Structure 1
């Protein structure tokens, strides 16, 4: 297995680092999958016997890398799967998030007593070049475990609606988090979205109207009908910190009483975040 790449555009370096920081807020561990054309970041649902991808992020390598080459485990399975600690990588790439902090970054798979993703960062200096090297320990995922890390099957949604600004939604959800460990998301085909928490003492809800609708597989004849799912509010708030990736839009998809799937879309990245419904 071999991998090496180089990012030389400051905006791309900053965006790549922001993606890693976002992933670090969602989970301690992440799997990176390298293919010829794409890089995938995959977070598996925690504390379950058979995990399913909770986060599925896709980066088109040509958007980020000026140089990119990889050789997978075999000719017919030309892919590499590595697991890493997200906070370690996020801290190592902090200089990429600062304007004029780095001129370029080289990324390669190395073996320094154990497998590592090595980042060679050329820092911005007025008089001379200075390099900073970070070795991020990784675990190689064996092929027999790849099947659990495939793209989740996307169901037909009952309703699909664009969220308003993530900062606004996060402000509301943060306040609701102090009241309950779960939140109910409701939406209909008229562009209405409701965030609701219920306690023995009170029911608190925030309403949004005239939001943009996306195509979905639901029955759109009864446009006033609401579809809903009750989910973990902590995980929902974690996703709402993704505004630093600067998405062009964030779509909330609801499968009634079963799932909320949120798609963060940017010209550089698509991030899918799956949250199963929780029984009341």
Structure 2
């Protein structure tokens, strides 16, 4: 197995750093899948057992000037690694205003992702800062455990309001309860609710719009559902807060799919990044 890549453009480097920063705030460990065309950051906790799920996809051509990959075999030209994204983010932070950044898979005392940062220098000698990030290589027999999640058969799909505004609301609500009810309908309305024995608080959002999933012949959400009927999901407010607090991607589109009393599926889209995040409901 071999992997090496090089990044020269400062804006691409800063954007990649923001993506990894977001991932590091969402999970302590994750899988990194490397293919010839894409990078995937994956978190496959058992959603059915209360864990969250994550799938972040990046097109390597939009970030890297050079990208070489030799997978485990000719027919399986991929590499799966387990890593701590916080360690990768710390290495990338040192590359601010760097001339270039190189990433490669190496074998030190253990398998590592080695990040070499070429920094500006007043002399003719380049300054190179190297970081070795330990990783675990995932054997091919376990790859099937990390498949791309399918879009759930949701009841309602809605565009999200400003993530910053939504975060401010959730930050205030977390002092009132450990749980939050998120509900929405096909009329572009969404509510965030806290209900306890002592207090009931609701924040209303209107005119958000609903994504046009599928064509008019498809069986998308709302086909057999009253557009005013709310689909709702009761979630752990800390998991929702963690998702909102970690966003550094600045998505052009942010959507939410709700499967009533089962799961909330968030989708953030940028021109070269897509991030999916799954939060299971609680009773």
Under TM normalisation by the shorter chain, which class is it?
A: over 0.9
Structure 2 CA distance for partners of 1:225 and 1:53, relative to 1, 3 Å: closer
State how 1:76-91 maps to structure 2 within 5 Å: 76-91=75-90
In structure 2, the residue matched to 1:115 is: 111
Give yes or no for the alignment of 1:225 onto 2:221. Answer: no
- Distance in 1 (CA, whole Å) between partners of 2:202 and 2:58 is 36
- Distance in 1 (CA, whole Å) between partners of 2:52 and 2:172 is 28
Secondary structure at 2:145 match in 1: helix
Secondary structure at 1:93 match in 2: helix
- Distance in 2 (CA, whole Å) between partners of 1:144 and 1:233 is 36
Aligned residues: 275
CA contact (8 A) 2:186 2:222 kept: no
- Distance in 1 (CA, whole Å) between partners of 2:279 and 2:200 is 22
What do the CA deviations read for 1:150-176 (whole angstroms, capped 9, x no partner)?
111222221111111111100000111
Per the TM alignment, residue 124 of structure 1 is displaced from its structure 2 partner at its CA by 2.7
CA contact (8 A) 1:42 1:53 kept: no
CA contact (8 A) 1:53 1:152 kept: no
CA contact (8 A) 1:9 1:104 kept: yes
In structure 1, the residue matched to 2:217 is: none
Give yes or no for the alignment of 1:241 onto 2:245. Answer: yes
User: What stretches of structure 1 move > 6 A for 4+ residues in a row?
Assistant: 46-49
- Distance in 1 (CA, whole Å) between partners of 2:169 and 2:89 is 27
With 51-60 and 107-116 compared, the bigger mean Cα shift is at 51-60
Secondary structure at 1:243 match in 2: coil
In structure 1, the residue matched to 2:4 is: 4
- Distance in 1 (CA, whole Å) between partners of 2:22 and 2:184 is 26
- Distance in 1 (CA, whole Å) between partners of 2:46 and 2:174 is 20
What do the CA deviations read for 1:73-101 (whole angstroms, capped 9, x no partner)?
111111100011122111111133x4xx2
Structure 2 CA distance for partners of 1:145 and 1:52, relative to 1, 3 Å: farther
In structure 2, the residue matched to 1:33 is: 33
CA contact (8 A) 1:31 1:42 kept: yes
Secondary structure at 1:244 match in 2: coil
What do the CA deviations read for 1:225-264 (whole angstroms, capped 9, x no partner)?
1111111111111111243211111111111111100001
Gaps of 5+ in 2: 214-219
State how 1:69-148 maps to structure 2 within 5 Å: 69-96=68-95, 98=96, 101-128=97-124, 129-148=126-145
TM-score, with normalisation over the residues of structure 1?
0.93
Per the TM alignment, residue 265 of structure 1 is displaced from its structure 2 partner at its CA by 0.4
In structure 1, the residue matched to 2:148 is: 151
Per the TM alignment, residue 202 of structure 1 is displaced from its structure 2 partner at its CA by 1.4
